[in-house]
């Protein structure tokens, strides 16, 4: 199988397992990742997802051999690799070792957070192959990085270390080599321990509010977040705090 899927204590880990091809994406891998993302969304026991790669690399993007064979790695409802245009309500964390190139970088950009080892290398290399980063690179980078840094990444196509991108806020945690997955799991466990309704609504407002008019920010936010304050989980959180115990979330 080109993808492994594991669920432990509310955290699901998707591992792209094509190390012989630096975890590049062929059609079989794209379909498998898409199925895993959909399972994360549909299973109420899963609170957080992680996507990573086997064998010391994250993902080198589209498998060019598969491209030449005519394989389609962009799915109609979820985009490249079943990730870049997927409709998600739950957090997804990229755990990056080694190379995150082209579409692999775009998978990371589609995630809510990125944990990368100090030896990880990121690059939108499409222009070097006569292609463009239209699986999210062109539209997400200027929303996540200063425009001049984004322009350099897109037009030059060189590789950049995790440490540099972290200085611009693109990476949440930089770990020692081999530590990206452990770092992502640490973040995921903390998120999974929080109220699922609060996490989902918080993520929704963070993402959607980027496009809201300034004079509507609070009205739109309040309309969405009102349900959280009226929820059973909000009451449970308060009770658990008062009783000095861990909350038991119901997601309602």
pLDDT per position as a tens digit, 99-143: 999 999 999 999 999 999 999 999 999 999 888 999 999 999 999
96, 180 Cβ separation under 8 angstroms = yes
Which of 28, 126, 211, 216 does the annotation list as catalytic? 126
Specify the CATH number for the domain of residue 47: 3.90.226.10
Residue 186 and residue 218 share a domain: no
Predicted pLDDT at 209: 95
Domain presence at residue 247: no
Q: What is the dihedral of CA 149, 155, 159, 165, to 10 degrees?
A: 20
Residue 200 and residue 184 share a domain: no
Number of domains present in the structure of the chain: 2
What rounded mean pLDDT belongs to the chain? 95
Whether 106 sits among the annotated catalytic residues: the reply is yes
Which of 20, 28, 41, 106 does the annotation list as catalytic? 106
Specify the 3-state DSSP secondary structure of 32.
Answer: helix
Residues 75 and 59: their CA atoms lie apart, in Å, by: 17
Instruction: For 116, list phi and psi in degrees, rounded to 5.
Output: -135, 145
Scan for tokens 């939108």, then name that residue.
124
Domain presence at residue 13: yes
Specify the CATH number for the domain of residue 230: 1.10.12
136, 79 Cβ separation under 8 angstroms = yes
Residue 138 and residue 159 share a domain: yes
Name, in order, each residue with C-beta under 8 angstroms of 4's C-beta and a sequence gap of 6 or more.
13, 14, 15, 17, 54
User: What is the residue range of 129's domain?
Assistant: 3-192
Residue 148 and residue 231 share a domain: no
Residue 210 and residue 90 share a domain: no
Predicted pLDDT at 1: 86
Residue 209 and residue 179 share a domain: no
Tokens for 155?
A: 């037009």
Domain presence at residue 251: no
Which residue in 53, 59, 56 sits closest to 13, CA to CA? 53
Which residue in 140, 142, 120, 119 sits closest to 60, CA to CA? 120
Strand partners, 178: none
Whether 126 sits among the annotated catalytic residues: the reply is yes
Residue 212 and residue 146 share a domain: no
Q: How confident is residue 251, by pLDDT bands cut at 50, 70 and 90?
A: confident
pTM above 0.85, yes or no: yes
């Amino acid at each position: 199988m080109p993808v492994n899927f594991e669920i432990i204590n509310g955290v699901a880990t998707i591992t792209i397992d094509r190390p012989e091809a630096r975890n590049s994406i062929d059609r079989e891998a794209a379909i498998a990742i898409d199925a895993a993302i959909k399972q994360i969304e549909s299973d109420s026991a899963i609170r957080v997802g992680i996507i990573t790669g086997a064998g010391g690399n994250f993902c080198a993007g589209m498998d060019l051999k598969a491209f030449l064979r005519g394989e389609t790695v962009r799915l109609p409802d979820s985009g490249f690799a079943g990730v870049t245009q997927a409709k998600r309500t739950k957090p997804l964390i990229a755990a990056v070792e080694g190379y995150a190139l082209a579409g692999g970088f775009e998978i990371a950009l589609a995630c809510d957070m990125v944990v990368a080892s100090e030896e990880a290398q990121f690059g939108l290399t499409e222009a070097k192959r006569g292609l463009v980063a239209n699986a999210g690179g062109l539209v997400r980078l200027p929303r996540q990085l200063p425009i001049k840094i984004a322009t350099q990444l897109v037009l030059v196509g060189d590789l950049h270390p995790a440490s540099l991108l972290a200085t611009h806020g693109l990476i949440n945690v930089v770990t020692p080599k081999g530590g990206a997955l452990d770092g992502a799991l640490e973040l995921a466990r903390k998120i999974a321990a929080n109220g699922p309704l609060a996490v989902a609504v918080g993520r929704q407002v963070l993402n959607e509010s980027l496009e809201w008019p300034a004079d509507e920010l609070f009205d739109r936010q309040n309309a969405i977040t009102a349900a959280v304050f009226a929820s059973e989980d909000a009451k449970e959180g308060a009770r658990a705090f008062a009783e000095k115990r861990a909350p038991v979330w119901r997601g309602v």
